[in-house]
Amino acid sequence: MEDEQSYDKARRKILWSIVNGLYLVGSRYEDDCNVMTCSFVTQVATSPKLVGIGVETGSKSAELIENGKAYSLMFLRRSQRDVVRKFVKPALCDREKRELNGYSYEDGPLTKVPVLKEALAFAECSLYEKLHFESHVFFIGEVLNVVSNAEEVPDGTPAADGRVLEVLRMEDTNMHYGG
Protein backbone atom coordinates (compact mmCIF):
# COMPACT_ATOMS: atom_id res chain seq x y z
CA MET A 1 0.00 0.00 0.00
CA GLU A 2 2.77 2.39 0.99
CA ASP A 3 4.68 1.32 -2.10
CA GLU A 4 1.69 2.13 -4.25
CA GLN A 5 1.37 5.57 -2.67
CA SER A 6 5.01 6.42 -3.09
CA TYR A 7 4.97 5.18 -6.69
CA ASP A 8 1.92 7.35 -7.31
CA LYS A 9 3.70 10.37 -5.85
CA ALA A 10 6.87 9.74 -7.84
CA ARG A 11 4.91 9.26 -11.05
CA ARG A 12 3.01 12.50 -10.48
CA LYS A 13 6.24 14.40 -9.89
CA ILE A 14 7.72 13.15 -13.15
CA LEU A 15 4.56 13.92 -15.12
CA TRP A 16 4.44 17.39 -13.54
CA SER A 17 7.90 18.00 -14.97
CA ILE A 18 6.50 18.02 -18.52
CA VAL A 19 7.10 21.60 -19.64
CA ASN A 20 3.80 23.41 -20.12
CA GLY A 21 2.73 26.94 -20.85
CA LEU A 22 -0.31 28.41 -19.11
CA TYR A 23 -3.05 29.71 -21.35
CA LEU A 24 -6.65 30.78 -21.22
CA VAL A 25 -9.27 29.05 -23.33
CA GLY A 26 -12.42 30.94 -24.34
CA SER A 27 -15.65 29.24 -25.37
CA ARG A 28 -19.17 30.26 -26.26
CA TYR A 29 -22.51 28.78 -27.16
CA GLU A 30 -25.38 31.12 -27.91
CA ASP A 31 -25.46 33.67 -25.05
CA ASP A 32 -23.31 31.73 -22.64
CA CYS A 33 -19.55 32.05 -22.57
CA ASN A 34 -16.59 31.05 -20.44
CA VAL A 35 -12.85 31.40 -20.03
CA MET A 36 -10.75 28.75 -18.28
CA THR A 37 -7.09 28.30 -17.37
CA CYS A 38 -5.51 25.51 -19.43
CA SER A 39 -2.07 23.93 -19.47
CA PHE A 40 -2.74 20.82 -21.58
CA VAL A 41 -2.01 22.64 -24.84
CA THR A 42 0.05 21.55 -27.83
CA GLN A 43 0.28 22.00 -31.57
CA VAL A 44 -0.46 18.66 -33.25
CA ALA A 45 -0.01 19.37 -36.99
CA THR A 46 1.25 22.12 -39.29
CA SER A 47 -0.92 21.25 -42.30
CA PRO A 48 -3.66 21.88 -41.48
CA LYS A 49 -2.56 24.05 -38.55
CA LEU A 50 -3.97 22.13 -35.60
CA VAL A 51 -3.73 22.87 -31.90
CA GLY A 52 -5.02 20.47 -29.23
CA ILE A 53 -6.28 21.22 -25.71
CA GLY A 54 -7.21 18.81 -22.91
CA VAL A 55 -10.39 19.95 -21.15
CA GLU A 56 -11.96 18.29 -18.11
CA THR A 57 -14.90 16.03 -18.90
CA GLY A 58 -18.10 17.59 -17.56
CA SER A 59 -16.62 21.10 -17.28
CA LYS A 60 -18.53 24.09 -18.55
CA SER A 61 -15.83 24.72 -21.17
CA ALA A 62 -16.12 21.16 -22.52
CA GLU A 63 -19.87 21.63 -22.93
CA LEU A 64 -19.53 25.03 -24.63
CA ILE A 65 -16.82 23.79 -27.01
CA GLU A 66 -18.87 20.68 -27.91
CA ASN A 67 -21.89 22.85 -28.71
CA GLY A 68 -20.17 25.96 -30.08
CA LYS A 69 -17.60 23.97 -32.10
CA ALA A 70 -14.87 26.56 -31.57
CA TYR A 71 -12.51 27.91 -28.94
CA SER A 72 -10.00 30.69 -28.49
CA LEU A 73 -6.51 30.13 -27.13
CA MET A 74 -5.13 33.18 -25.31
CA PHE A 75 -1.42 33.69 -24.73
CA LEU A 76 -0.39 35.63 -21.62
CA ARG A 77 2.70 37.52 -20.50
CA ARG A 78 4.99 35.94 -17.91
CA SER A 79 3.84 38.64 -15.49
CA GLN A 80 0.15 37.70 -15.81
CA ARG A 81 -0.08 34.81 -13.39
CA ASP A 82 -2.81 36.53 -11.34
CA VAL A 83 -5.08 36.36 -14.39
CA VAL A 84 -4.96 32.55 -14.58
CA ARG A 85 -5.96 32.27 -10.91
CA LYS A 86 -9.20 34.09 -11.75
CA PHE A 87 -10.32 31.46 -14.26
CA VAL A 88 -10.27 28.15 -12.43
CA LYS A 89 -14.04 27.99 -11.91
CA PRO A 90 -16.84 28.70 -14.38
CA ALA A 91 -16.59 32.45 -15.04
CA LEU A 92 -19.36 34.99 -14.69
CA CYS A 93 -20.26 36.01 -18.22
CA ASP A 94 -21.84 39.46 -18.60
CA ARG A 95 -22.68 39.75 -22.30
CA GLU A 96 -24.07 43.26 -21.89
CA LYS A 97 -20.97 44.71 -20.25
CA ARG A 98 -18.73 42.39 -22.28
CA GLU A 99 -17.03 41.19 -19.14
CA LEU A 100 -15.95 37.80 -17.86
CA ASN A 101 -15.21 37.80 -14.12
CA GLY A 102 -14.78 41.57 -14.48
CA TYR A 103 -12.25 41.30 -17.36
CA SER A 104 -13.20 43.03 -20.61
CA TYR A 105 -13.52 40.77 -23.60
CA GLU A 106 -14.31 41.03 -27.28
CA ASP A 107 -15.85 38.47 -29.59
CA GLY A 108 -13.24 36.83 -31.81
CA PRO A 109 -13.75 38.25 -35.32
CA LEU A 110 -14.25 34.85 -36.98
CA THR A 111 -15.70 32.58 -34.29
CA LYS A 112 -17.39 35.07 -31.92
CA VAL A 113 -15.73 33.21 -29.07
CA PRO A 114 -14.59 35.54 -26.24
CA VAL A 115 -11.05 36.88 -26.16
CA LEU A 116 -9.85 38.89 -23.16
CA LYS A 117 -8.37 42.29 -23.97
CA GLU A 118 -5.55 41.39 -21.55
CA ALA A 119 -4.25 38.66 -23.89
CA LEU A 120 -0.80 39.13 -25.40
CA ALA A 121 -1.95 37.20 -28.47
CA PHE A 122 -4.76 34.83 -29.35
CA ALA A 123 -5.69 32.12 -31.81
CA GLU A 124 -9.24 31.38 -32.90
CA CYS A 125 -9.79 27.69 -33.55
CA SER A 126 -12.68 25.78 -35.07
CA LEU A 127 -13.33 22.30 -33.74
CA TYR A 128 -11.73 19.76 -36.08
CA GLU A 129 -11.64 16.53 -34.06
CA LYS A 130 -12.18 15.35 -30.51
CA LEU A 131 -11.13 12.40 -28.39
CA HIS A 132 -13.03 11.50 -25.24
CA PHE A 133 -11.18 10.09 -22.23
CA GLU A 134 -12.47 9.43 -18.73
CA SER A 135 -11.03 12.59 -17.18
CA HIS A 136 -10.58 14.89 -20.19
CA VAL A 137 -11.72 15.56 -23.73
CA PHE A 138 -8.89 16.32 -26.13
CA PHE A 139 -10.24 18.92 -28.53
CA ILE A 140 -8.26 19.50 -31.70
CA GLY A 141 -8.93 22.85 -33.32
CA GLU A 142 -7.91 24.26 -36.66
CA VAL A 143 -6.24 27.65 -36.29
CA LEU A 144 -8.33 30.09 -38.33
CA ASN A 145 -6.85 33.35 -37.19
CA VAL A 146 -3.97 34.52 -35.02
CA VAL A 147 -3.77 38.04 -33.62
CA SER A 148 -0.81 39.42 -31.67
CA ASN A 149 -1.04 42.47 -29.41
CA ALA A 150 2.64 42.19 -28.54
CA GLU A 151 4.40 45.44 -29.30
CA GLU A 152 7.77 43.90 -28.61
CA VAL A 153 7.54 41.53 -31.60
CA PRO A 154 5.62 43.42 -34.29
CA ASP A 155 7.18 41.34 -37.08
CA GLY A 156 7.37 38.06 -35.16
CA THR A 157 11.18 38.20 -35.00
CA PRO A 158 12.39 35.65 -32.46
CA ALA A 159 14.24 36.81 -29.34
CA ALA A 160 17.84 35.71 -28.74
CA ASP A 161 16.63 32.44 -27.18
CA GLY A 162 14.52 31.63 -30.26
CA ARG A 163 11.16 32.40 -28.73
CA VAL A 164 8.83 34.77 -30.51
CA LEU A 165 6.70 35.58 -27.47
CA GLU A 166 7.63 35.46 -23.80
CA VAL A 167 4.57 33.60 -22.60
CA LEU A 168 3.45 32.51 -19.16
CA ARG A 169 4.62 29.05 -18.12
CA MET A 170 3.67 26.74 -15.29
CA GLU A 171 7.10 27.31 -13.72
CA ASP A 172 6.23 31.03 -13.32
CA THR A 173 3.62 29.98 -10.73
CA ASN A 174 3.67 27.67 -7.72
CA MET A 175 0.87 25.62 -9.24
CA HIS A 176 0.73 22.16 -10.78
CA TYR A 177 -1.88 20.46 -12.90
CA GLY A 178 -2.23 16.91 -14.16
CA GLY A 179 0.24 14.24 -13.14
Ligand X SMILES: Cc1cc2nc3c(=O)[nH]c(=O)nc-3n(C[C@H](O)[C@H](O)[C@H](O)COP(=O)(O)O)c2cc1C
Rounded to a whole number of angstroms, the minimum distance from the CB of residue 147 to ligand X is 22
Q: Which of 37, 72, 80, 111 binds ligand X (CB under 6 A)?
A: 37
Is 119:149 a contact under the CB 8 Å cutoff?
Answer: yes
Find the shortest distance in angstroms from Cβ 15 to ligand X. 13
Site residues (CB under 6 A) for ligand X, limited to 16-35: 22, 34
In the 8-state DSSP scheme, what is residue 170?
G
Which of residues 21, 26, 61, 75 is near ligand X by CB under 6 A?
A: 61
Residue 160, helix vs strand vs coil: coil
In the chain the first and final C-alpha atoms are separated, in Å, by 19
Q: Do residues 138 and 130 lie in contact, with contact meaning Cβ atoms separated by under 8 Å?
A: yes
Q: Which residues contact 62 (CB under 8 A, 6 or more apart)?
A: 55, 56, 137
Q: Applying CB under 6 A, which part among 10-18, 66-74, 81-89, 155-163 lies near ligand X?
A: 81-89
Rounded Cα distance between 149 and 106, Å, is 14
Residue 44 interacts with ligand X (CB under 6 A): yes or no: no
If one asks whether residue 172 binds ligand X (CB under 6 A), the answer comes out as no
- 114 to 133: interface string for ligand X, x by CB under 6 A: --------------------
Binding site for ligand X (CB under 6 A): 22, 34, 36-40, 54-56, 59-61, 87-90, 175, 177
